[in-house]
Homo-oligomer: A and B are copies of this chain.
């Protein structure tokens, strides 16, 4: 007999090991399927007995046990934690999907004003699936307004910022007295004032910090600005909670000030950065080849802004005099660095840097941890 070729031998060995790995993988997906069934059964039991579904302590205990086991098995505990965060997240999404079908006030009548816009359609689907009766009032339906407002429990204004106050004024007189009037505009001061003037019943301002492309509301933030009779609005807040949203309460004035920073300033800065890349005619493709994950991350965020609707951004940026003043201050603050750049003044840069770094210090640990995690994810996937 001819001796076995060592390289063929190796190929055969690799082939055998791969088959064993395939068998392990098949078993794992089978177990994940079984796990999903058990989770569904728990959710069904909880729903039947009105027990809250999400259980943070149980999740953390579970993670700790798996980390322990990983250590004993010679696996990296961080790796196992990453895997289990993904598994638990999926099970939460599943549970939220179940919840969506169960409304807090199924059968209640909901009127969406501007329900054919993208956010209107989005909420239409959610309320509909949760068993509400949803009606739409579009731009051309105003002659039907009394009919559409008859016996409604909730009216949500979902129209562009610049017509929100006008629409609130027009709608108010037609609403039943005990109906909740709400809006979802990204500024809250003027719309809330207009709603309070137009309607005598419960009023509440909502600002969902997510767009219509978001597939679940799980962990998505909704800012709630109280208007009038919040206890009558509670079921609506609970409904968003049941869909998985995180509710942040704030006065309209605080909301608008912080959003100037969070939205207007950030979007304007991103806009201006893209504008400059375009002016310089940067070669985006070649640039990406040279990109560290951090730059790649920044560049995809710029690309994301310009892939979306310009009117959304212009409404946010130009929504108030105060906001425009903030952005002008930003441009001026940047211009203050011109002399430093002109003179190549490294010392000035370093002293400025130190000042800001000291101010950021309490946030450093969190920033490093979260950004490192994201950079890892970016490397992992792309």
Residue numbers in B under 8 Å from A86 (CB-CB): 79, 82-83, 86, 380
Residue from B250, B266, B366 in contact with A298 in the complex, judged by beta carbons closer than 8 Å: B266
List 9 tightest A-B contacts by C-beta distance, closest first. Answer: A303-B367, A33-B73, A310-B353, A307-B364, A209-B292, A306-B360, A306-B357, A10-B49, A304-B371
A21 touches B35 (CB 8 A): yes
Interface residues of A in 1-49 (CB under 8 A from B): 6-7, 10, 13-14, 17-18, 20-22, 24-36, 38-39, 41-42, 45-46, 48-49
- Of A101-109, A228-236, A333-341, the segment with at least 4 beta carbons within 8 Å of chain B is A333-341
Say whether A57 faces chain B, with CB atoms less than 8 Å apart. Answer: no
Known: A258-B290, A313-B353; 13 extra A-B contacts, CB below 8 A, are A6-B49, A21-B35, A22-B65, A32-B83, A221-B290, A248-B290, A261-B282, A272-B337, A300-B367, A307-B368, A327-B341, A374-B378, A377-B377
Residue numbers in B under 8 Å from A126 (CB-CB): none
Say whether A302 faces chain B, with CB atoms less than 8 Å apart. Answer: yes
Known: A75-B32, A341-B327, A360-B303. A378 touches B370 (CB 8 A): yes
A341 touches B331 (CB 8 A): yes
B276 touches A333 (CB 8 A): yes
Interface residues of A in 270-298 (CB under 8 A from B): 270-280, 282-287, 289-292, 294-298
Residue numbers in B under 8 Å from A354 (CB-CB): 310
- Of A136-144, A195-203, A344-352, the segment with at least 4 beta carbons within 8 Å of chain B is A344-352
Say whether A219 faces chain B, with CB atoms less than 8 Å apart. Answer: yes
Q: In the complex, which residue of chain B has the Cβ closest to the Cβ of A307?
A: B364
A303 touches B368 (CB 8 A): yes
Known: A80-B32, A86-B86, A223-B290. A349 touches B314 (CB 8 A): yes
Say whether A183 faces chain B, with CB atoms less than 8 Å apart. Answer: no
Bound Cα distance A70, B32 (Å): 9
Chain A binding surface SS class: helix
Interface residues of A in 82-104 (CB under 8 A from B): 82-87, 89-90
Known: A30-B73, A31-B28, A353-B313. A280 touches B261 (CB 8 A): yes
Residue numbers in B under 8 Å from A313 (CB-CB): 349, 353
Known: A18-B42, A307-B360, A380-B86. A300 touches B353 (CB 8 A): no
B290 touches A359 (CB 8 A): no
Say whether A262 faces chain B, with CB atoms less than 8 Å apart. Answer: yes
Residue from B39, B89, B380 in contact with A380 in the complex, judged by beta carbons closer than 8 Å: B89
A262 touches B295 (CB 8 A): yes
Bound Cα distance A365, B303 (Å): 9
- The proximity string for A residues 66-86 relative to B, scoring 1 for CB distances below 8 Å and 0 otherwise, is 100110011110011011111
Closest CB in chain B relative to A112 CB, distance in Å: 22
Bound Cα distance A34, B22 (Å): 12
Say whether A119 faces chain B, with CB atoms less than 8 Å apart. Answer: no
Bound Cα distance A296, B220 (Å): 12
Bound Cα distance A266, B296 (Å): 11
Say whether A163 faces chain B, with CB atoms less than 8 Å apart. Answer: no
Residue numbers in B under 8 Å from A82 (CB-CB): 86
Residue numbers in B under 8 Å from A311 (CB-CB): 350
Closest CB in chain B relative to A339 CB, distance in Å: 10
Show 6 residue pairs from A and B whose CB-CB distance is below 8 angstroms, ordered by the A residue. A24-B38, A33-B75, A284-B362, A297-B301, A321-B344, A331-B337
Say whether A54 faces chain B, with CB atoms less than 8 Å apart. Answer: no
Known: A290-B221, A303-B366, A346-B314. A338 touches B334 (CB 8 A): no
